[in-house]
Amino acid sequence: MQRGPDFPRNALLIAVAVALVLAGTYVVVTLRPAAQSSGVKVLTTFYPVYDYARNIGGDRINVSLLVPMTLDVHAFEPTPSSVQAVATASILIYNGAGLEPWIPSIVAAADNPRLVLVDSSANVSLLRVPPAFQKENRTIDPHVWLNPVLAKVQVANILRGLVQVDPADAPYFTAKAQAYSAKLDVLDAEFVNLTANPATRFFVTFHEAFAYFAKQYNLTQIPIAGPFEEDPTPSEIQNVIDAVHAHHLCYVGYESLTNPAIAESIASQTNATLIRLDPIEGLSLTDQALGMTYLLKMQDGFTKFALALNHVGCN
């Protein structure tokens, strides 16, 4: 089986992470102890909005995460403790665009009349998922955060929410949001440069998470699984294999938080190399131990896209 250059390094990193856990020195970064901050109690749903809020709110907020850090957000089901967290929060920041279909039910169950709700993808032009993947009331693609330009919209929405619950700290939040948005501008400029004249505009990703990203940079994703991570059928897998051959692609994406077996099989059958293309729907223990952030994960994605878009004809 063909294995990408990531595997030996990942195995080492995982070994280091496990060793740290066993040595008792590993620190879970999901929740900051309340004693460290008396700031506004900010509840966020999943990793990217948690990281945006942390960067904007700094030491003036006490931010926590509803979906466990290592869990793929698509697989999350709320628990009674989720409802309790909403009941005691001042503000609940979520991705929106249908990523968290359970939001209305936990907000109703929490019965918190002072809660401010922030839909971080408000004002974004949302994309529909392809008809084959539409399910009951799930027709909207939620993956806005993988486009740095739309991440700036999310940051602006979160800033508005934080100012609403803590107007006294508005200048502090505004300055931090501007500094973070400037970093997103740098990331965007890097992707604009990378995609100006690539060897190919096609890339293979594990699940269909890159529609907003691909639209922004005039690329075409070839997903193995659908936007809500349904198991691909044998004919869908064959279509990806055919597309890798047709476009002479050298790389096949897999994700840290999802079983890589199907991506490995496709890479093996096409002589392609596996690369990690994470949709940042959570952070693996390895990434947590490495101190990864949304921006660092996007930068890691940039190096992988630089490989995938600049090489063709390997098979």
Choice between 40 and 151, CB closer to Zn ion: 151
DSSP per-residue letters across 171-220: HHHHHHHHHHHHHHHHHHHHHHHHTSS-S-SEEEEEES--HHHHHHTT-E
Going by the DSSP 8-state scheme, the letter that residue 39 receives in this structure is S
Residues 6+ positions from 139 with CB-CB distance below 8 Å: 98, 128, 129
Helix (H, G, I), strand (E, B) or coil at 232: coil
Element (H, E) at 296: helix 294-310
Q: What is the CA 59 to chain-centroid distance, rounded?
A: 24
Choice between 166 and 208, CB closer to Zn ion: 208
Choice between 100 and 169, CB closer to Zn ion: 100
Which of 270, 227, 276 minimizes the C-alpha distance to 256? 276
Choice between 110 and 209, CB closer to Zn ion: 209
Nearest distance from residue 221's CB to Zn ion, in Å? 12
Choice between 120 and 270, CB closer to Zn ion: 120
Residue 145's Cβ-count burial label (10 Å; 0-12, 13-18, 19+) is buried
Nearest distance from residue 281's CB to Zn ion, in Å? 5
Nearest distance from residue 16's CB to Zn ion, in Å? 28
Nearest distance from residue 90's CB to Zn ion, in Å? 28
Choice between 127 and 163, CB closer to Zn ion: 127
Q: Would you give the end-to-end CA distance of the chain in angstroms?
A: 15
Nearest distance from residue 48's CB to Zn ion, in Å? 11
Choice between 95 and 181, CB closer to Zn ion: 95
Measure the CA–CA gap between 70 and 55, rounded to whole angstroms. 20
DSSP per-residue letters across 67-113: S-TTS-GGG----HHHHHHHHT-SEEEE--TTS-TTHHHHHHHHT-T
Measure the CA–CA gap between 199 and 136, rounded to whole angstroms. 39
Site for Zn ion, rule CB under 5 A: 209
Choice between 60 and 207, CB closer to Zn ion: 207
Residue nearest to Zn ion (CB): 209
Nearest distance from residue 144's CB to Zn ion, in Å? 11
Nearest distance from residue 82's CB to Zn ion, in Å? 19
Nearest distance from residue 278's CB to Zn ion, in Å? 10
